[in-house]
Amino acid sequence: MTVPERYDVAVIGAGPAGLAAAVSAAGGLKTTVIEAYGAGGSAAATPVIQNYPGCADVSGAELTRRIYEQAQRLGVSFVLTNPAVGLSTGGGERTVTLADGTTIAVHAVVIATGVAYRTLGVPSVDKLTGAGVVYADSVAEPSALAGQEVFIVGATAVAAQAALDLAKHASNVTMVVRAGSIDAGVSAGLAKEVDRTRNIRVRVNTQVVEAFGEGRLEGVRLRHRVSGTIEAARTRALFVMMGADPNTEWLKGSMVRDNEGYLLTGDELLRNGRLPDGWPNERVPLLLETSLPCVFAAGDVRHPRRGARDHAGAAGAARASRERRGSTELAFDRRARRIDAAADGVPDPLPQIPVPEVW
Ligand SMILES: Cc1cc2nc3c(=O)[nH]c(=O)nc-3n(C[C@H](O)[C@H](O)[C@H](O)COP(=O)(O)OP(=O)(O)OC[C@H]3O[C@@H](n4cnc5c(N)ncnc54)[C@H](O)[C@@H]3O)c2cc1C
């Protein structure tokens, strides 16, 4: 049996949410970050970030590299290319199991594993991701596409709403839809609004089969699924909005998720005012605390739309503040852990760091 490594905090996922949590936790807490691939997450594919506090016009890759290096300087250790595959609790501790079999014992866990966007499976589209091709479930700044031809793939409510938002600025918006209509994924009211909007065109029974451009998207080729006709269209913006799946399969059965698999936290866990089944404490879960005490969730794994809707139009800044809020919960969590530890009869081995009363 391997003796587990011990940390105060393990952050799972090194996207912007995980990195921000690690930087905040690092002050006084022995912190490790577990990442399935390399640091940066989805943000590493974002060409320009304009609204992250203190960083204007920086690429997502550059921004996350800076936060990664900052975390390292603050003493955070990183385990890369080794995904977390299990999480269990007991004896006042949480144990994270990694793909290579390593186990890590920790007091608090922050899950920031983000989402996996559903892709078209077209290599030329994948190649231009971040260079005109965007996987997203909302459009942060539709005005940036003023006067342009914009394409959206997807027949979801999110895609229809994005088309309406973009149509206020773009010259034309084309929705590319595999099915014979958008009715299956879009409410009748929204579909009617799309239909009524002069500069939105819905291309049904149609697929994007190719994206082209030298280092940047310049156009797409569309194939009609019934007639087989292929035509080319010029565009510098293709949004793929076919939905996303949260990276939480490895947590199935260990904590409460919503019906799409997103993690629920804080009072989202209360059902008719009742605490979740198996919740061992009298206190209610903290703001970003999951159904397992001292296991928190931050970033898109809680649902990208929760943040985006709350802070319409300022996704980057909002995300930053949301993540700060998530990581500041760790400070509160030190207090919570003492309560838990006392309830379990386990001494709290953490240094007694003053805990702020407000964040
Ligand atoms: C092409 C593109 C462009 C975008 N443009 C914008 C934009 O302009 N503005 C904006 O606000 N947002 C944009 N977004 C969205 C933004 O990138 C995300 O909202 C943000 O990255 C979410 O951060 P996160 O840390 O929650 O998750 P992510 O960035 O997705 O990071 C999650 C990390 O967890 C890791 N992981 C997953 N499972 C495990 C596991 N089991 N164990 C260990 N690690 C795991 C992943 O490998 C990943 O590194 C864009 C996204 C994409 C893909």
Residues 166-182 have pLDDT tens digits of: 999 999 999 999 999 99
Residue nearest to atom 16 of ligand 1 (CA): 43
In the prediction, which pLDDT does 167 show? 97
Which atom of ligand 1 is the closest one to the Cα of 16?
Answer: 25
In the prediction, which pLDDT does 211 show? 98
DSSP string, 250-302: GGTTTS-B-TTSPBP-GGGG-BTTBPPTT---SSPPPTTB-SSTTEEE-GGGG
Give the pLDDT confidence of 290-347 residue by residue, as tens digits: 999 999 999 999 986 554 433 322 233 233 333 433 443 444 344 334 333 333 333 3
In angstroms, what is the span from residue 43 Cα to ligand 1's centroid? 5
In the prediction, which pLDDT does 319 show? 37
- From 12, 23, 46, 249, give the residue whose CB has the most ligand 1 atoms within 8 Å, as the site to mutate: 46
In angstroms, what is the span from residue 92 Cα to ligand 1's centroid? 31
In angstroms, what is the span from residue 9 Cα to ligand 1's centroid? 21
In angstroms, what is the span from residue 42 Cα to ligand 1's centroid? 3
In angstroms, what is the span from residue 48 Cα to ligand 1's centroid? 14
Give the pLDDT confidence of 281-290 residue by residue, as tens digits: 889 999 999 9
Residue nearest to atom 27 of ligand 1 (CA): 114
Which atom of ligand 1 is the closest one to the Cα of 40?
Answer: 49
Of 199, 196, 191, 193, nearest to 167 by C-alpha is 199
In the prediction, which pLDDT does 1 show? 53
DSSP 241: -
H-state helical runs in the chain: 16-26, 60-73, 123-127, 157-167, 188-196, 304-310, 315-344
The number of angstroms, rounded, from the C-alpha of 196 to the middle of its chain's C-alpha atoms is 33
Which atom of ligand 1 is the closest one to the Cα of 60?
Answer: 17
Q: How much is the pTM?
A: 0.78
Which atom of ligand 1 is the closest one to the Cα of 307?
Answer: 19
Residue nearest to atom 19 of ligand 1 (CA): 300
What is the SS3 assignment for 24?
helix
Which atom of ligand 1 is the closest one to the Cα of 84?
Answer: 42
- Residues with pLDDT less than 70, the chain: 1-4, 50-51, 304-359
Task: Ligand 1: list residues with CB < 6 Å.
Answer: 12-18, 34-37, 41-43, 45-46, 83-84, 112-114, 117, 129-130, 134-136, 140, 247, 250, 299-301, 304, 315-316, 319
